[in-house]
Amino acid sequence: MNPYPHPIIAREGWFYLGLASAVALAVQVLAGIVWAAPFWLVTLFVLQFFRDPARPVPAGDQWILSPADGRIVAVLPCTDPYLQRPAVKISVFMNVFNVHSNRSPVAGTVRQVVYHPGQFLNADLDKASEANERNALVLETPAGRELTCVQVAGLIARRILCYVKVGDVLQPGQRYGFIRFGSRVDLYLPPEVRLRAAIGDTVKATTSILAEWPSS
């Protein structure tokens, strides 16, 4: 399956881009380019926010890829709240200037989709993982390994979009969801994985490798 069967400007942003462009154009026609300039800047911001570029997928099935663009704000041992087992959590924080399309970190089958309503705390805070609105996918790889990928809403993000269901099979880097206007994605990995990312790293969805499965 082609993991990028979508336009370079995410469909989730077409309405907002059209609205911003129409307002900017109307102001320019009625009042001139000087008055319209701030509205065109807003249009450019909307355009960059909803960009959704194709990304090359690293070769090899041993990699666990970043599910989101952003900055790593947590790498810590914990308990996977969905699989109820020891885990390492890697959290990627997305600000308003990052791409907000979410991609599958591995090839795998969706075993669970779990949605939780919640608060809208700053997604940069670690407690957002448990307090905020979130949507979790439990994925099982062809080798039988499991991990959990959780979309977490943020202070401004008020809409988590997930387009897959239990039983769907995802390819590495395949687009499966979107979060509007700043948020985070948490990965819960088995503790035996080899980490290749650290707090403070800037990562990109699909192209950045966060961890490696141990050799069989």
CA distance 76 to 12: 32
Shared domain for 25 and 98, answered yes or no, is no
Shared domain for 29 and 130, answered yes or no, is no
Shared domain for 23 and 85, answered yes or no, is no
Tell me, what amino acid is at 213?
A: W
Structurally, how many domains does the chain consist of?
2
Tokens of 64: 């666990």
What pLDDT digit, counting tens, does each position of 96-114 carry?
888 888 999 999 999 999 9
8 Å CB contact between 52 and 9: yes
CA distance 139 to 20: 38
* 132 has pLDDT over 90: no
Q: What CATH number is associated with residue 90?
A: 2.70.70
Please check whether residue 5 lies inside any domain of the structure: no
Shared domain for 88 and 131, answered yes or no, is yes
pLDDT at 198: 93
pLDDT at 120: 55
Going by pLDDT thresholds of 50, 70 and 90, the confidence category of residue 131 is low
Residue 130, φ and ψ in degrees, nearest 5 = -110, -25
Higher-scoring residue by pLDDT: 117, 78: 78
Residues 6+ away with beta carbon under 8 Å from 193: 64, 88, 211, 212, 213, 214
Shared domain for 120 and 19, answered yes or no, is no
pLDDT at 179: 84
Residues 6+ away with beta carbon under 8 Å from 67: 92, 102, 103, 104, 105, 149, 185, 187, 205
Whole-model pTM: value is 0.84
pLDDT at 126: 62
8 Å CB contact between 186 and 73: no
Shared domain for 25 and 78, answered yes or no, is no
Shared domain for 167 and 107, answered yes or no, is yes
pLDDT at 183: 82
CA distance 139 to 137: 6
Q: Which residues are catalytic?
A: 183
Shared domain for 38 and 131, answered yes or no, is no
Task: Please give the residue range of the domain that contains residue 96.
Answer: 63-212
